[in-house]
């Protein structure tokens, strides 16, 4: 498969990935955000286990002892980021978290590509790649800002405003710094999973990622005294359990794609797909989202994302 087709595939994967946040958010309204994240991981765990069994690849785990412990960190990174985002979103807003995350992931991905870490082919930093990444960041920020503007009411705090009344500025900056560090780690999650896949195979590596993440989230849920909220999930609508399925698609496809288009290319494609997917979800008010019309700013932002992806993966 050519690089261009891989990029297009990952953009489409990113489009469906955009649905994960509102799906988990819908579940979180019933169970709480941290418990919703755990359930999402557990669903993904079951799905991947069934796939691995069906593919007859359980025997691959006999080689897991050959993998160094650091290759198992992908699940830790994913679960840590999800837990941080779930517990801080009410304090700084979804827009700020998304913008800081995009910045951190892109920055880390460029470094990983430039030095060829984790078995990734070297993709030297060029002027066009930097321009593409800047266009991606600008497009993501514009898309997020337009969304917060459209959904804000009266004097309500907008999600992209870092300094807002009613919340301590220092606390917000500390939270943003923590999210940024976590997003830097997210930038190496897929390369780490790809390294593990080289030892035990793609599907088993994905299963390990979800198993480790589920264990960590379970520990956090128990430690925070929220284990009883798991039972509340019975009252949630069936569509709000799709988060795990979406995560499986992202993890499994990314394992192969990252070795072809690099960490920065993968991040660029996923970010573009997520933002375009968010635009569509907002337009039609899917999964309980407030309907937000497609205006010139959002169209320009989508164009900036697509052009940025083309340049960043060229």
Q: What is the pLDDT of residue 92?
A: 66
Nearest to 172, CA basis, from 163, 181, 183, 159? 163
Please check whether residue 62 lies inside any domain of the structure.
no
What are 134-164's pLDDT values in tens digits?
887 787 777 666 666 665 544 444 444 444 4
Contacts of 281 (CB under 8 A, 6+ apart): 18, 19, 22, 287, 289
- The tens-digit pLDDT sequence of the chain (314 residues) is 678 899 899 999 988 888 887 888 888 889 998 999 999 999 999 999 999 999 999 999 888 888 888 888 888 998 888 888 777 766 766 656 777 777 788 778 878 888 878 777 777 777 887 888 788 778 777 766 666 666 554 444 444 444 444 546 677 778 888 888 988 888 888 888 888 988 899 899 999 999 999 999 999 999 999 999 999 999 999 999 998 999 899 988 988 888 888 877 888 888 888 878 877 887 787 777 667 777 788 788 878 877 877 777 66
Q: What is the pLDDT of residue 162?
A: 44
Q: What is the pLDDT of residue 165?
A: 47
What are 85-94's pLDDT values in tens digits?
777 766 766 6
Please check whether residue 201 lies inside any domain of the structure.
yes
Compute, in degrees rounded to 10, the torsion defined by CA atoms 288, 183, 271, 42.
-50
Alpha carbon distance 194, 203 (integer Å): 11
Please check whether residue 64 lies inside any domain of the structure.
no
Euclidean distance between the first and final Cα of the chain, in Å? 16
Please check whether residue 63 lies inside any domain of the structure.
no
Number of domains the chain contains: 1
How many of the other CB atoms lie within 10 Å of CB of 2?
8
* Cβ–Cβ under 8 Å, residues 83 and 214: no
Alpha carbon distance 284, 265 (integer Å): 29
* Cβ–Cβ under 8 Å, residues 40 and 243: yes
- Rounded to two decimals, the pTM is 0.79
Q: Phi first, then psi: what are they for 187, rounded to 5°?
A: -65, -20
Contacts of 272 (CB under 8 A, 6+ apart): 11, 14, 136, 139, 305, 306, 308, 309
Alpha helices in the chain (DSSP H): 3-17, 20-31, 33-54, 73-92, 94-115, 127-151, 169-186, 189-200, 202-223, 243-284, 296-312
Full domain range(s) for residue 82:
3-57+69-312
Report the b/e string of 145-161 with b at 16+ CB within 10 A: bbbbeebeeeeeebbbb
Contacts of 88 (CB under 8 A, 6+ apart): 97, 175, 178, 179
Q: What is the pLDDT of residue 150?
A: 62
* Cβ–Cβ under 8 Å, residues 262 and 126: no
Nearest to 178, CA basis, from 280, 307, 92? 92
Please check whether residue 231 lies inside any domain of the structure.
yes
Q: Phi first, then psi: what are they for 165, rounded to 5°?
A: -65, 150
Compute, in degrees rounded to 10, the torsion defined by CA atoms 243, 245, 250, 254.
150
Q: What is the pLDDT of residue 19?
A: 85
Nearest to 143, CA basis, from 153, 151, 131? 151
Alpha carbon distance 163, 171 (integer Å): 10
Alpha carbon distance 26, 181 (integer Å): 27
Please check whether residue 179 lies inside any domain of the structure.
yes
How many of the other CB atoms lie within 10 Å of CB of 184?
18
């Amino acid at each position: 498969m050519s690089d261009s087709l891989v990029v297009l595939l990952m953009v489409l994967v990113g489009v469906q990935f955009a649905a994960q946040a509102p799906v988990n958010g819908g579940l979180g309204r019933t169970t709480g955000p941290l418990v919703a994240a755990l359930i999402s991981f557990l669903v993904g765990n079951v799905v991947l286990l069934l796939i691995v069994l069906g593919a007859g690849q359980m025997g691959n785990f006999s080689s897991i002892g050959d993998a160094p412990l650091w290759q198992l960190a992908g699940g830790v990174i994913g679960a840590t980021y999800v837990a941080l985002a779930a517990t801080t979103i009410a304090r700084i807003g979804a827009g700020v978290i998304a913008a800081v995350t995009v910045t951190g992931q892109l920055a880390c991905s460029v470094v990983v590509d430039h030095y060829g870490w984790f078995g990734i082919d070297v993709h030297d930093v060029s002027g066009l790649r930097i321009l593409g990444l800047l266009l991606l960041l600008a497009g993501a920020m514009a898309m997020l800002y337009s969304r917060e503007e459209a959904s804000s009411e009266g004097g309500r705090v907008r999600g992209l405003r870092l300094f807002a009344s009613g919340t301590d500025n220092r606390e917000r900056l500390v939270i943003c710094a923590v999210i940024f560090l976590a997003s830097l780690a997210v930038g190496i999650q897929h390369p780490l999973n790809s390294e593990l896949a080289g030892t035990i195979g793609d599907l088993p590596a994905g299963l390990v990622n979800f198993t480790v993440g589920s264990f960590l989230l379970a520990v956090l849920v128990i430690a925070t005294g929220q284990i009883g909220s798991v039972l509340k999930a019975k009252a949630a609508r069936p569509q709000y359990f799709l988060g795990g399925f979406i995560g499986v698609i992202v993890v499994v496809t990314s394992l192969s794609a990252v070795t072809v288009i690099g960490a920065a290319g993968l991040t660029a494609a996923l970010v573009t797909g997520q933002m375009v997917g968010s635009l569509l979800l907002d337009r039609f008010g899917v999964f309980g989202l407030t309907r937000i019309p497609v205006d010139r700013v959002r169209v320009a932002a989508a164009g900036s994302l697509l052009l940025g992806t083309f340049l960043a993966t060229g």
